[in-house]
Structure 1
Amino acid sequence: MRSTLDRRALLAGFAASPFVATGIGAFPTAARAQASAMGLLTPNVCMVSTEVTEGPYYIDPDLVRADITEDREGIPMRLQMQVVTADCTPVEGARVDVWHCDARGLYSGVNSLGGSADTSGQTFLRGTQMTDARGITTFQTIYPGWYRGRTTHIHYKVFLDETTVLTSQIFFPDTLSEYLFRNVAPYNERGATRDTMNGTDSIAEQAGEGAFAAIREQKAYYDAALVVGINPQAVSEDVGMPGGPAGGPAGGPPPEGQPPADQSSGGNAAVYLPGAS
């Protein structure tokens, strides 16, 4: 078990990061090093993650699988989530469900978005994994797209003993999202401009800075990582449903290829800014 001093030092390092204010800055080197030494994926730790709405698109297709991509086109991404308690103790054997829209803003398994596409019976970009001894689950997927009224996000649920202890969402840097959506197919084939950024999404605001994934560019894919703090005694409660405009581009090429099939951790994950070397 980590000491109170360890916890306070880590939180202090995180609080000093520009990541907190913008969602796109890099964690300080010292905070990254300390998180790694404590066996943690990122420095956004030692806090119970904020519960936000499940949204209207959750289904439980009982898909225990690491690769949730199926036939969806988009930039490959490895998503690692580490479930811990408030004292940074990893939670082994937790069930983690994730689901998100594709590059065109469509969810599987529903008659999406006012009948614009019927994906009933399909299961793309949905899956379940159990946490390992380090509290980590790994999913192979694509960078999510967007739909009206919401910023870019991934939904997730954490279950313990068949009880949902947390329902929340993961958010991504606006600079990276904006570059991909303006310049990379199939994200840029929609004929529409997204209307909601992180700063104007009420759910992202409710979730707070601890809900932003740390992103690192690999040669063939993006690595996204988030430490999820839970209260093991909690019971999830769905909390309603909102949605809102802004702008801002960036530069830098997307990676090509596929993420690795292994489940290993890539170590601590630094935030990638498009165009940065």
Structure 2
Amino acid sequence: MPLRTALSRRAALLGLTGAASAVRIPAALAAQPEAGACLLMPETVEGPFYVDPHLVRADIREDRTGLPLALRLRVIESGPCTPLSRARVDVWHADAQGLYSGYDGQGDSRRISTRGQAFLRGTQFSDGEGWAGFQTVYPGWYAGRATHVHFKVFLDTRTLVTGQMYLPDATNAEVYGTDPAYGGRDTKRRITNGQDGIARSDDPRQVGVAAVERTDEGLRATLTIGVDRNARTKSRFWPF
């Protein structure tokens, strides 16, 4: 379980999540945010699992198995809500069995080492409409945390926001209950978004819960991230 660290409480990100236009997916599986709302969401904890592997790639799966997931993140400027192009977007998340790449102490036993590996990590730069996309697998859970995807957004020499995308509880239950890649674990240790301490503290309105819809390949999760482009936090991860 990532250690909670002290962090700035500045409100650096604005999350917009539109109701999913679901295709062949039960309404219960989709996020249910307030349609068309611009909701302020504070920056959240990075956790100890971020690395900067300099991997500019859209397909971050490597050898990981699991339900195919297309991540669609849109970066906009808060206030005018105009899209930001060429923003650097980093994502990273756990695999189907709850393992992060690049660290010791992984897995339910905390005895698995993934040092030297970089699965389920990558960087993309937003296009003219602010979109950055990744092909991955649906993230697994680990004890103490709800299912989530980490992201960072950079612009020029600044880290604009560190955040977490959450997946709807109903979608998690459906995926974990039907796909064998996620099986063989003590499901009593799995928690929901409402039980997650970080989510309750940093995102009580669940603005960061993505809209999810079914595709021919698997699922697609979409989240729009509004940032304060005047943020002055210098980034040690720039230039790329």
User: Structure 2: how far apart are the matches of 1:101 and 1:120?
Assistant: 14
CA contact (8 A) 1:47 1:229 kept: no
**Identity value in percent:** 43
Contact 1:76/1:220 (8 A) holds in 2: yes
Kindly tell me: are residues 109 and 55 of structure 1, through their superposed partners in 2, closer, same or farther at Cα, counting changes over 3 Å?
Answer: same
1:133 paired residue among 128, 135, 152: 128
- Whether contact under 8 Å (1:48, 1:230) holds in the other structure is no
Show the counterpart of 2:162.
Answer: 167
**Equivalent of residue 96 in structure 2, options 96, 103, 109:** 103
Contact 1:96/1:129 (8 A) holds in 2: yes
Pick from 144, 152, 161: which aligns with 1:149? 144
Contact 1:48-1:231 at 8 Å conserved across structures:
no
Cα-to-partner distance string for 1:31-84 (whole Å, 9 max, x where unaligned): 4xxxxxxxxxxx45x445421000010000000000000000000000000000
Equivalent residue for 2:49?
A: 57
Give the aligned residue type for 1:96.
Answer: V
Give the 3-state SS of the residue equivalent to 1:186 in structure 2. helix
Q: CA contact under 8 A between 1:48 and 1:228: conserved in structure 2?
A: no
Aligned partner of 2:9 in structure 1 is none
The structure in which a higher percent of residues are strand is 2
Structure-1 residue corresponding to 2:214: 217
Match of 2:228 in 1: 231
How far residue 236 of structure 1 moved from its aligned partner, in angstroms, is: 5.3
| 1:23/1:209 contact within 8 Å kept | no
Structure with the higher helix share, 1 or 2:
1
- TM-score, with normalisation over the residues of structure 1? 0.68
Is the Cα contact below 8 Å between 2:73 and 2:223 reproduced in 1?
A: yes
What is the alpha-carbon distance in structure 1 between the residues aligned to residue 225 and residue 187 of structure 2?
33
For residues 51 and 111 of structure 1, what CA distance do their matches in structure 2 show?
A: 27
Whole-Å separation in 2 of the counterparts to 1:225 and 1:89: 17
User: Which residue number in structure 1 is paired with residue 185 of structure 2?
Assistant: 190
Structure 1, unpaired ranges of 5+: 1-10, 15-21, 32-42, 238-277
The root-mean-square deviation of aligned C-alpha atoms, in Å, is: 2.4
Q: Is 2:194 the counterpart of 1:199? A: yes
CA spacing shift, 1:23–1:186, aligned 2, 3 Å: closer
> Does structure 2 conserve the Cα–Cα contact (< 8 Å) formed by 1:180 and 1:188?
no
Residues 138-195 of structure 1 deviation map (CA, whole Å, 9 limit, x = unaligned): 0000110000000000000000112111001000111110122223111012244333
Gaps of 5+ in 2: 1-15, 20-27, 235-240
* Equivalenced residues, count: 205
- Tell me the amino acid that sits aligned with residue 218 of structure 1: T
